[in-house]
Amino acid sequence: MSSILRIHWTITPKIAPRPLVNCNRCGGFRPYKCSEKFRVNANGKRIDVWLIYRCTACDNTWNFTILERRNRRDVEPALLTALESNDPALVWRHAFDSAALRDKAGRIEEFPDVTVRKEILDVEPERPTALRLELRLEGTTALRLDRLLAGELGLSRSRLQALEDRKRLTVEPDGAKALRKSVRDGLAVRIDLADEVDCSAVLSAACR
Protein backbone atom coordinates (compact mmCIF):
# COMPACT_ATOMS: atom_id res chain seq x y z
CA MET A 1 0.00 0.00 0.00
CA SER A 2 1.32 3.47 -0.94
CA SER A 3 2.24 5.90 1.81
CA ILE A 4 0.82 9.25 0.70
CA LEU A 5 2.33 12.68 1.25
CA ARG A 6 -0.46 15.32 1.18
CA ILE A 7 0.51 18.84 0.22
CA HIS A 8 -1.56 21.99 -0.24
CA TRP A 9 -0.51 24.31 -3.07
CA THR A 10 -1.85 27.86 -3.07
CA ILE A 11 -1.48 29.23 -6.60
CA THR A 12 -1.59 32.99 -7.06
CA PRO A 13 -1.61 34.55 -10.55
CA LYS A 14 0.89 37.38 -11.01
CA ILE A 15 -0.79 39.27 -13.86
CA ALA A 16 -4.49 40.17 -13.99
CA PRO A 17 -6.48 39.40 -17.15
CA ARG A 18 -6.55 42.25 -19.68
CA PRO A 19 -9.69 43.09 -21.68
CA LEU A 20 -9.26 43.64 -25.43
CA VAL A 21 -11.07 46.90 -26.12
CA ASN A 22 -11.60 48.91 -29.31
CA CYS A 23 -9.49 51.97 -28.47
CA ASN A 24 -10.86 55.14 -30.07
CA ARG A 25 -7.40 56.74 -29.93
CA CYS A 26 -5.39 53.86 -31.40
CA GLY A 27 -8.08 52.94 -33.91
CA GLY A 28 -8.21 49.22 -33.15
CA PHE A 29 -8.47 46.59 -30.43
CA ARG A 30 -5.81 46.93 -27.75
CA PRO A 31 -5.19 45.24 -24.39
CA TYR A 32 -6.16 47.39 -21.43
CA LYS A 33 -4.38 47.12 -18.08
CA CYS A 34 -6.03 47.53 -14.67
CA SER A 35 -5.10 50.88 -13.10
CA GLU A 36 -5.87 49.50 -9.60
CA LYS A 37 -8.23 52.45 -9.03
CA PHE A 38 -12.00 52.66 -8.72
CA ARG A 39 -14.09 55.56 -9.93
CA VAL A 40 -17.05 56.23 -7.63
CA ASN A 41 -19.80 58.52 -8.90
CA ALA A 42 -22.60 59.45 -6.51
CA ASN A 43 -25.57 61.26 -8.06
CA GLY A 44 -28.18 61.97 -5.44
CA LYS A 45 -29.35 58.65 -4.00
CA ARG A 46 -27.76 56.61 -6.81
CA ILE A 47 -24.20 55.39 -7.01
CA ASP A 48 -22.12 54.02 -9.89
CA VAL A 49 -18.71 52.38 -9.52
CA TRP A 50 -16.19 51.39 -12.18
CA LEU A 51 -12.74 49.81 -12.08
CA ILE A 52 -10.58 51.90 -14.39
CA TYR A 53 -8.47 50.27 -17.13
CA ARG A 54 -5.92 51.98 -19.38
CA CYS A 55 -4.82 51.18 -22.92
CA THR A 56 -1.32 49.70 -22.86
CA ALA A 57 -0.44 51.70 -25.99
CA CYS A 58 -1.87 55.19 -25.43
CA ASP A 59 -3.21 55.28 -21.82
CA ASN A 60 -6.81 55.83 -22.93
CA THR A 61 -9.32 54.73 -20.28
CA TRP A 62 -12.05 52.10 -20.23
CA ASN A 63 -14.40 51.57 -17.31
CA PHE A 64 -15.30 48.10 -16.03
CA THR A 65 -18.71 48.43 -14.34
CA ILE A 66 -18.81 47.20 -10.74
CA LEU A 67 -22.02 48.87 -9.50
CA GLU A 68 -24.62 50.54 -11.71
CA ARG A 69 -27.37 52.90 -10.54
CA ARG A 70 -27.33 51.28 -7.12
CA ASN A 71 -29.27 52.93 -4.31
CA ARG A 72 -26.68 54.28 -1.89
CA ARG A 73 -28.58 52.85 1.07
CA ASP A 74 -28.11 49.34 -0.37
CA VAL A 75 -24.31 49.64 -0.39
CA GLU A 76 -22.67 48.58 2.86
CA PRO A 77 -20.60 51.39 4.42
CA ALA A 78 -17.52 49.13 4.66
CA LEU A 79 -17.76 48.31 0.95
CA LEU A 80 -18.16 51.96 0.02
CA THR A 81 -15.12 52.86 2.12
CA ALA A 82 -13.09 50.12 0.41
CA LEU A 83 -14.14 51.37 -3.03
CA GLU A 84 -13.35 54.99 -2.24
CA SER A 85 -9.93 54.06 -0.81
CA ASN A 86 -9.02 51.71 -3.70
CA ASP A 87 -8.63 48.80 -1.30
CA PRO A 88 -6.01 46.50 -2.92
CA ALA A 89 -7.80 43.26 -1.97
CA LEU A 90 -11.06 44.51 -3.49
CA VAL A 91 -9.26 45.71 -6.63
CA TRP A 92 -7.57 42.30 -6.92
CA ARG A 93 -10.85 40.42 -6.53
CA HIS A 94 -12.55 42.30 -9.35
CA ALA A 95 -9.47 42.45 -11.59
CA PHE A 96 -9.20 38.64 -11.50
CA ASP A 97 -12.90 38.02 -12.12
CA SER A 98 -12.30 36.86 -15.68
CA ALA A 99 -15.90 35.74 -16.22
CA ALA A 100 -17.33 39.18 -15.40
CA LEU A 101 -14.58 40.92 -17.35
CA ARG A 102 -15.19 38.74 -20.42
CA ASP A 103 -18.92 39.42 -20.11
CA LYS A 104 -18.31 43.18 -20.30
CA ALA A 105 -15.44 43.29 -22.81
CA GLY A 106 -16.10 40.22 -24.95
CA ARG A 107 -12.47 39.13 -25.19
CA ILE A 108 -9.66 39.07 -22.63
CA GLU A 109 -6.00 38.11 -22.41
CA GLU A 110 -4.99 35.73 -19.62
CA PHE A 111 -1.46 34.98 -18.46
CA PRO A 112 0.26 31.83 -17.13
CA ASP A 113 2.57 33.56 -14.61
CA VAL A 114 1.95 32.35 -11.04
CA THR A 115 3.55 31.94 -7.64
CA VAL A 116 3.04 28.71 -5.66
CA ARG A 117 3.00 28.50 -1.87
CA LYS A 118 3.37 24.95 -0.52
CA GLU A 119 2.28 23.48 2.80
CA ILE A 120 2.44 19.88 4.04
CA LEU A 121 -1.01 18.96 5.37
CA ASP A 122 -0.15 15.88 7.44
CA VAL A 123 2.83 14.67 9.43
CA GLU A 124 5.20 13.59 6.67
CA PRO A 125 5.19 9.78 6.29
CA GLU A 126 8.49 8.03 6.91
CA ARG A 127 8.83 6.72 3.36
CA PRO A 128 6.13 8.19 1.13
CA THR A 129 5.70 6.63 -2.29
CA ALA A 130 2.71 8.65 -3.48
CA LEU A 131 1.82 12.31 -3.65
CA ARG A 132 -1.53 14.05 -3.27
CA LEU A 133 -1.57 17.72 -4.26
CA GLU A 134 -4.60 19.77 -3.21
CA LEU A 135 -4.75 22.94 -5.28
CA ARG A 136 -6.17 26.27 -4.19
CA LEU A 137 -6.28 28.88 -6.96
CA GLU A 138 -6.61 32.52 -5.99
CA GLY A 139 -8.03 34.21 -9.08
CA THR A 140 -7.83 32.79 -12.60
CA THR A 141 -4.94 31.71 -14.80
CA ALA A 142 -4.35 30.41 -18.33
CA LEU A 143 -1.61 28.09 -17.01
CA ARG A 144 -2.21 24.46 -17.98
CA LEU A 145 -2.06 21.84 -15.25
CA ASP A 146 0.69 19.86 -16.99
CA ARG A 147 2.88 22.98 -17.21
CA LEU A 148 2.33 23.75 -13.52
CA LEU A 149 3.24 20.21 -12.46
CA ALA A 150 6.23 20.05 -14.81
CA GLY A 151 7.64 23.31 -13.49
CA GLU A 152 7.11 22.56 -9.81
CA LEU A 153 7.97 18.84 -9.76
CA GLY A 154 10.81 18.77 -12.28
CA LEU A 155 9.00 16.27 -14.52
CA SER A 156 8.59 16.59 -18.28
CA ARG A 157 5.08 16.94 -19.64
CA SER A 158 5.54 13.76 -21.69
CA ARG A 159 6.39 11.87 -18.50
CA LEU A 160 3.35 13.26 -16.74
CA GLN A 161 1.24 12.11 -19.67
CA ALA A 162 2.82 8.65 -19.45
CA LEU A 163 1.99 8.48 -15.74
CA GLU A 164 -1.61 9.42 -16.51
CA ASP A 165 -1.80 6.80 -19.28
CA ARG A 166 -0.63 4.16 -16.80
CA LYS A 167 -3.26 5.33 -14.26
CA ARG A 168 -0.50 6.44 -11.90
CA LEU A 169 -1.59 10.06 -12.14
CA THR A 170 -5.22 10.98 -11.54
CA VAL A 171 -6.99 14.31 -11.22
CA GLU A 172 -10.21 14.96 -9.33
CA PRO A 173 -12.75 16.10 -10.26
CA ASP A 174 -11.72 16.73 -13.89
CA GLY A 175 -10.66 13.21 -14.85
CA ALA A 176 -9.58 12.56 -18.44
CA LYS A 177 -7.51 15.17 -20.25
CA ALA A 178 -7.30 17.33 -17.13
CA LEU A 179 -3.56 17.78 -17.68
CA ARG A 180 -4.25 19.76 -20.86
CA LYS A 181 -6.74 22.10 -19.21
CA SER A 182 -6.12 25.30 -17.27
CA VAL A 183 -5.53 25.00 -13.53
CA ARG A 184 -8.76 25.33 -11.56
CA ASP A 185 -9.50 25.86 -7.90
CA GLY A 186 -10.23 22.70 -5.93
CA LEU A 187 -8.36 20.17 -8.07
CA ALA A 188 -6.65 17.24 -6.35
CA VAL A 189 -3.77 15.50 -8.13
CA ARG A 190 -2.60 12.06 -7.01
CA ILE A 191 0.68 10.66 -8.34
CA ASP A 192 1.87 7.14 -7.53
CA LEU A 193 5.68 7.18 -7.53
CA ALA A 194 6.34 3.72 -6.08
CA ASP A 195 8.12 2.44 -9.20
CA GLU A 196 9.89 5.71 -10.08
CA VAL A 197 13.67 5.89 -9.53
CA ASP A 198 13.50 9.61 -8.69
CA CYS A 199 10.63 9.29 -6.22
CA SER A 200 12.47 11.13 -3.44
CA ALA A 201 13.48 14.01 -5.72
CA VAL A 202 9.91 14.53 -6.94
CA LEU A 203 8.50 14.42 -3.40
CA SER A 204 11.11 16.91 -2.26
CA ALA A 205 10.33 19.26 -5.15
CA ALA A 206 6.62 19.11 -4.29
CA CYS A 207 7.38 20.62 -0.87
CA ARG A 208 9.89 23.30 -1.86
Same domain, yes or no, for 179 and 146? yes
Q: What pLDDT is attached to residue 1?
A: 47
Average pLDDT, whole number, for the chain?
93
pLDDT of amino acid 62 = 97
Query: In which band, very low, low, confident or very high, does the pLDDT at 42 lie, cut at 50, 70 and 90?
Result: confident
**Torsions phi, psi for 51 (to 5 deg):** -100, 125
- Indicate the pLDDT class of residue 122, thresholds 50, 70 and 90: confident
Determine the pLDDT at residue 140: 85
Whether residues 47 and 121 fall in one domain: no
Q: Which amino acid, one-letter code, is at 198?
A: D
Domain final position from 72, 87, 109? 109
Last residue within a domain, chosen from 71, 88, 109: 109
Q: Do 72 and 135 have their domain in common?
A: no
195: domain range?
Answer: 4-14+111-207
pLDDT band at 127 (very low <50, low <70, confident <90, very high): confident
Kind of pairing, strands 4-13 and 130-137? parallel
118 lies in the same domain as 202: yes
Domain end marker among 109, 142, 168: 109
pLDDT in tens, 161-178: 999 999 999 999 877 789
In this structure, are 104 and 30 located in the same domain?
Answer: yes
Pair 51, 63: CB distance under 8 Å? yes
Minimum mean pLDDT among 6-10, 61-65, 90-94, 136-140: which range? 136-140
> What is the CA 55 to chain-centroid distance, rounded?
23
- For the segment 56-80, what is each residue's pLDDT rounded down to a tens digit? 999 999 999 999 999 989 999 999 9
Strands 28-43 and 108-109: unpaired
Sequence-separated (6 or more) residues with CB below 8 Å from residue 14: 111, 113, 114, 115
Number of separate domains in the chain: 2
Model pTM score: 0.82
Sign of the alpha-carbon dihedral angle for 105, 106, 109, 110:
positive
* Selected residue with higher pLDDT from 100 and 122: 100
Domain check: are 196 and 124 in the same one?
Answer: yes
Q: In this structure, are 66 and 124 located in the same domain? A: no
Q: Are 9 and 82 contained in the same domain?
A: no
| pLDDT for res 139 | 85
DSSP string, 98-160: HHHHHHHHS-EE----EEEEEEE-SPPPSS--EEEEEEEESS----BHHHHHHHHHT--HHHH
> Same structural domain for residues 62 and 117?
no
Check whether 124 has a pLDDT greater than 80. Answer: no
More confident residue, 179 or 123: 179
Mean pLDDT of all residues in 1-11: 88
48 with 62, same domain: the answer is yes
Binned at pLDDT 50, 70 and 90, residue 123 comes out as: low
Do 128 and 60 have their domain in common? Answer: no
Selected residue with higher pLDDT from 122 and 15: 15
Residue 115 and residue 105 in one domain: no
